[in-house]
Chain A
Amino acid sequence: MPLLKCNNLGITIGNTTVCQNMSLQMNAGESWVVLGKNGSGKTTLIHTLAGLRSADNGEIFLRDKLLHDYSRQHISQQVGVLFQSDEETFPSTVLESTLIGRHPYLGWMQWESATDIELAEQALNKMRLLEFKSRDIHTLSGGERRRTRIACLLTQNPDIALLDEPSNHLDIQHQIETLTILKKQFQNKLLFLSAHDINLANRFCTHALLLLGDGKYISGEINEVITTQNLETLYGIRINKINQHDQDFFFPA
């Protein structure tokens, strides 16, 4: 049974048609990348798949049940989202900002236990942020804040992770490191991320979804979808390809 499935999904936002009659099946163990031009609706699609906005047509299934039949809390135990930007207004330590990932599992008046704190610290350790745990998040750099948000997602530890441009603000060392960690943590689960870096996606993902901008889409296994021809259709520019160490690399001609 697919972890996440959509049938005839149709999403429009303003004058943009993100997708029409889109049907996808995403299984445990897969990692998907969604590619598209600016404004093609990658973020909107991620929000829709997380149940944060409703689709115009079609259905989304989480396992065997309609997404909308779950409560917000139940969705949040299974689906985690990394947003493109954060809106932290008030001072908050790195540990506090990571610990909110345990919220889906806590009862109304329950406080975080020692185990919850340990989980958050483990996640911070993985993201190499443990030494910053008492720092105010506003004193961190953009990349460090981004990694804190990812540590929060690791603390939440959902079955499905929807990541909106996870490599934003990260240097290439941290891009590779972070995606390796995510890949490992979500090994038998589902990763779904949006990106602009085709080669990074090609290296880490098993499946791809191209949003062509007029409601049409191309989806499937990554080596069938990410081809010079498809990328030229997607971005509207000439694309070249080179092959090194058995890996295809794409770049604008």
Chain B
Amino acid sequence: MKKFQASIILVILCLGSIALAISAGSTTLSANEIFSSLTNEQGLPHTLIFELRLPRAMLAFICGGMLALAGLLMQALLRNPLADPYILGVSGGAASGALLAILFGMGALVIQVSAFSGALLSIMLVFALAHSNSSWTSNRLLLTGVVLAAGWNAVISFLLTTSSSQQIYGMLFWLMGDLSYNQLSFWEAPLLAIITLVSFIFSRHLNLMSRGEMQAAALGVNTRTVRLVLFSTASLLTAVAISLAGSIGFIGLMAPHMLRLIIGSDHRLLVPAVVILGGTLLILADTLARTLLAPTQLPVGILTAVLGVPTFLYLLYRRS
């Protein structure tokens, strides 16, 4: 059973990536040190693991899972393989919000809130503009998103050119995605869990929606409800992920496609699997980002591309 094997491998990969994230860094921890730190609350290993590396790995997992799930939902709902979490101009809105906050010298929390508001504003703009005759056609949504993203890009360029050189460094990190300045609070993990569950409940409907809305409606899917629920959850996931970690590219586009190439297009498998794969990919990328040129930390967005592009191309060409 190929799909079963693939699921097992995926879970092993995920656990492996967490182990790697815990052990790798400025001080490399051995398996022994990791295990002894579980019981011994004194000492450096315990602090390193439980205060620095594990929280950061969890942040990476949750952001990666959110982006990958949002990408999967967007691709299925828009029936477009090029769709990603940012397709509706979300990242541009969030980036403009975040950059504005950085420009005014605000702290991490304000940057986060500002990015989140920018993302939501952008989403609402797209849906309001693309709305016609009480129905959204996916092409109209896509085009509105793309055009709006171009507008946001102008705002971002303007903010970059008018900022001082110290601020530009922080802004660039934000634009490329960076997991080093934010920490999880209590609600992100439950949010991802709930939305994954909701998406899983709708996953057979999603199978039909990805074959066309008329077809889905003719087979008994209440398309309006499914579309409304899943577009909102995908947008929420994107807005949260981007406000936590900046605009991290590739994960949301590629994780769903990688899985489709391996386990097929059944969303009942894809929904849980894409969360795990997205999370795993971002943990690996982030671990590399902070160790490759240590003590210099690279923006994680560079690593998601470096890891993602060759893997993706390999899977694509292996198929044909």
Task: Please give the residue numbers on chain A whose beta carbons come within 8 Å of chain B beta carbons, in ascending order.
Answer: 47, 50, 52, 71-77, 79-81, 83, 86-93, 96-97, 100-101, 103-104, 106, 108-109, 111, 156
Report which of B211, B219, B266 forms a contact with A86, defined as CB distance below 8 A.
B211
Q: How far is the CA of A232 from the CA of B212 in the complex (A)?
A: 37
CB distance from B76 to the nearest CB of A (A): 8
**A111 cross-chain contacts in B, Cβ below 8 A:** 268
In the complex formed, the residue of A with least CB distance to B224 is A72
In the complex formed, the residue of A with least CB distance to B220 is A76
Residue B215 CB within 8 A of the other chain = yes
Report which of B204, B207, B215, B217 forms a contact with A72, defined as CB distance below 8 A.
B217
Are A52 and B220 interface neighbours, CB within 8 A? no
| A–B Cβ pairs within 8 angstroms, 15 of them | A71-B222, A73-B222, A74-B220, A83-B212, A86-B212, A88-B211, A90-B260, A91-B265, A92-B211, A96-B266, A101-B219, A103-B219, A103-B220, A108-B201, A111-B268
Q: How far is the CA of A169 from the CA of B80 in the complex (A)?
A: 25
**B222 cross-chain contacts in A, Cβ below 8 A:** 71-73
Residue B94 CB within 8 A of the other chain = no
CB distance from A89 to the nearest CB of B (A): 5
Are B220 and A90 interface neighbours, CB within 8 A? no
Q: How far is the CA of A30 from the CA of B63 in the complex (A)?
A: 57
B:242-268 near A, CB below 8 Å? 260, 264-266, 268
Are A100 and B219 interface neighbours, CB within 8 A? yes
Q: How far is the CA of A106 from the CA of B220 in the complex (A)?
A: 10
In the complex formed, the residue of A with least CB distance to B256 is A90
Are A103 and B221 interface neighbours, CB within 8 A? yes
In the complex formed, the residue of A with least CB distance to B267 is A90
Are A89 and B220 interface neighbours, CB within 8 A? no
**B101 cross-chain contacts in A, Cβ below 8 A:** none
Are A104 and B219 interface neighbours, CB within 8 A? yes
**B208 cross-chain contacts in A, Cβ below 8 A:** 100, 103
Known: A83-B215, A104-B220, A106-B204. A89 touches B268 (CB 8 A): no
Are B264 and A96 interface neighbours, CB within 8 A? yes
Are A87 and B220 interface neighbours, CB within 8 A? no
- For B208, B215, B222, which residue has the most chain A Cβ atoms within 10 angstroms? B215
Residue B182 CB within 8 A of the other chain = no
Extra contacts besides A79-B218, A89-B211, A93-B264 (19): CB < 8 Å: A73-B220, A76-B219, A83-B212, A86-B215, A87-B215, A88-B212, A89-B81, A89-B210, A90-B76, A90-B260, A90-B265, A91-B265, A92-B211, A97-B211, A100-B207, A101-B219, A103-B204, A103-B219, A103-B221
In the complex formed, the residue of B with least CB distance to A87 is B212
Q: How far is the CA of A97 from the CA of B211 in the complex (A)?
A: 9
CB distance from B221 to the nearest CB of A (A): 7
**B201 cross-chain contacts in A, Cβ below 8 A:** 108-109
CB distance from B238 to the nearest CB of A (A): 21
Residue B214 CB within 8 A of the other chain = yes
B120-143 CB mask vs A (1 if < 8 Å, else 0) is: 000000000000000000000000
Residue B227 CB within 8 A of the other chain = no
**B211 cross-chain contacts in A, Cβ below 8 A:** 86-89, 92, 97, 100
**A108 cross-chain contacts in B, Cβ below 8 A:** 201
- For B211, B260, B266, B268, which residue has the most chain A Cβ atoms within 10 angstroms? B211
Are B81 and A52 interface neighbours, CB within 8 A? no
In the complex formed, the residue of A with least CB distance to B265 is A90
Q: How far is the CA of A73 from the CA of B204 in the complex (A)?
A: 14
